[in-house]
Amino acid sequence: MLERWKRRRVPSPAECRAIYAMLDVDERILRHSRVVADTAGNMANDLNRAGCNLDKDLIVAAALLHDIARERPDHAHQGARLVAELGFPEAGELISTHIDIPAHPNGEVNAAEVLYLADKLVQEDKKVSLEKRFGSKLAVHMDDARAVNKIISRSSTAFYIESRVAALIQGRINAPVSGKK
């Protein structure tokens, strides 16, 4: 009970399901979010085995809830606000950056970057490569220069994070000595 009390700021899977139901989230969004959560959880496990100190429960909860406002304008910030108002500000913080995030060049991979990358590795409810994910986006938006620039920026960030994650997992760079768990 004491451990759950300490973790009260991280929504449990049951609380995530209750939030889905309360907001009447579409089933296709739920399927997408479950695959993103699985991908993010596996990535967090691998990174933690490599010496990182990531809060896997927080990452998985944020991944489950990251698209709860997907059918609204500015859904990352709308979803983050909703989740924070429900008492989970840390998850809301991660959700707020799942579309655009500044990458940290110092080699440390943080929870927000794990969520960002996991989301980019899932298209609808299928795991895909970054090449496939961003290639299909570019094909759809080729006639919109502003959209193309955003897609290129997001893909550069995703590839950069992916390379840092891979290097950490493969032991090519040292994991941070301390981090938020």
pLDDT-wise least confident of 8-12, 105-109, 130-134: 105-109
Identity of the residue numbered 139: A
Q: Is residue 136 part of a domain?
A: yes
Alpha carbons 47 and 135: distance in angstroms, whole number: 27
Q: Is residue 181 part of a domain?
A: no
Q: Is residue 35 part of a domain?
A: yes
- Contact in structure between 111 and 37 (CB atoms under 8 Å): no
Residue from 14, 44, 86, 4 nearest 180 by CA: 44
Q: What is the CATH number of the domain that holds 87?
A: 1.10.3210.10
Higher pLDDT, 67 or 105: 67
How confident is the model over 6-60, as pLDDT tens digits?
566 899 999 999 999 999 999 999 999 999 999 999 999 999 999 999 999 999 9
Q: Is residue 174 part of a domain?
A: no
Q: Is residue 78 part of a domain?
A: yes
Q: Is residue 179 part of a domain?
A: no
User: What pTM value is reported for the model?
Assistant: 0.89
Residues paired with residue 42 on neighbouring β-strands, in sequence order: none
Quote the number of domains for the chain.
Answer: 1
Q: Is residue 111 part of a domain?
A: yes
Place 3 in a pLDDT band, splitting at 50, 70 and 90. Answer: low
Residue from 103, 99, 102 nearest 76 by CA: 99
Q: What is the H or E stretch that residue 51 is in?
A: none
Q: Is residue 90 part of a domain?
A: yes
Question: Which residue segment(s) compose the domain that 89 sits in?
Answer: 2-169
